[in-house]
Amino acid sequence: MTKKIIALIVAAFLLFLVFFIVKDYRDNRIDRVIRDSFTFHDNGYPVAQQDEDSITRIYSAENKTAQQIVDQLTQQVKPNQLGKIEDHRAIMVYPEDLVLIMRDSSKPDLIWIELANKDLVAEVMNISMLERYQVSNIAAKQWNLSKTINGKYEGYIDLSGQFARMVAPSQQVVYESSGFVPQRGGGISAGK
């Protein structure tokens, strides 16, 4: 009887220990580092979301360069691959996420940090953009992306320096501040 109690106590302790190891691993993921380091952008701009598993979140940093953001993130959580830094933009590939770093062309002292999970990347990302920043091979291999994906999304700020208007026709527009999904439809007099 005593051996069974001791075995149960040891098993409970091991489960408790495994829980904290897993929790610590998850707490050191890049999403937590970004959330804790930068300002969550919540001004009503739409964020693309295919479903609850495919999402992108936008953060900002002022008075920093793309290179400084890359250095800060790399120092805290090493990416699987860091793409080339070009035109004040960078892409970093992590196990579950793609991090896009881009300077605002209208406010050069503002850097946008976009955290897109792998599901969203697979569904809507422009593969040419990933190729341009030299991360398409690792992303394709790591997440089983097809080289023929034909998404049009290039990030919160696209390669021409404009804010992204729409990810894809099938995407819902979800507002970060409220989670509100506008209902579209109606006729000519529906007040669109």
Percent of the chain with pLDDT over 90: 30
Distances (CA, A) of 120 to 8, 31, 115, 116: 43, 15, 10, 6
Kindly list the domain boundaries of the chain, sorted by start residue. 2-175
- Report the pLDDT value the prediction gives residue 180, as an integer from 0 to 100: 41
Better-predicted residue by pLDDT, 63 or 124: 63
- According to DSSP, the β-strands at 46-51 and 172-175 are antiparallel
Residue 26 pLDDT level (bands cut at 50, 70, 90): very low
- Report the pLDDT value the prediction gives residue 121, as an integer from 0 to 100: 82
- According to DSSP, the β-strands at 89-93 and 81-82 are antiparallel
Query: How large is the average pLDDT for residues 155-178?
Result: 59
- Report the pLDDT value the prediction gives residue 49, as an integer from 0 to 100: 53
Distances (CA, A) of 24 to 20, 28, 44, 77: 6, 6, 33, 13
- Report the pLDDT value the prediction gives residue 62, as an integer from 0 to 100: 95
Residue 190 pLDDT level (bands cut at 50, 70, 90): very low
Full-model pTM: 0.70
pLDDT at 141 over 90: no
104, with CB counted inside 10 A (0-12, 13-18, 19+), is: middle
Condensed to tens digits (0 to 9), the pLDDT of residues 102-122 reads 999 889 999 999 998 888 788
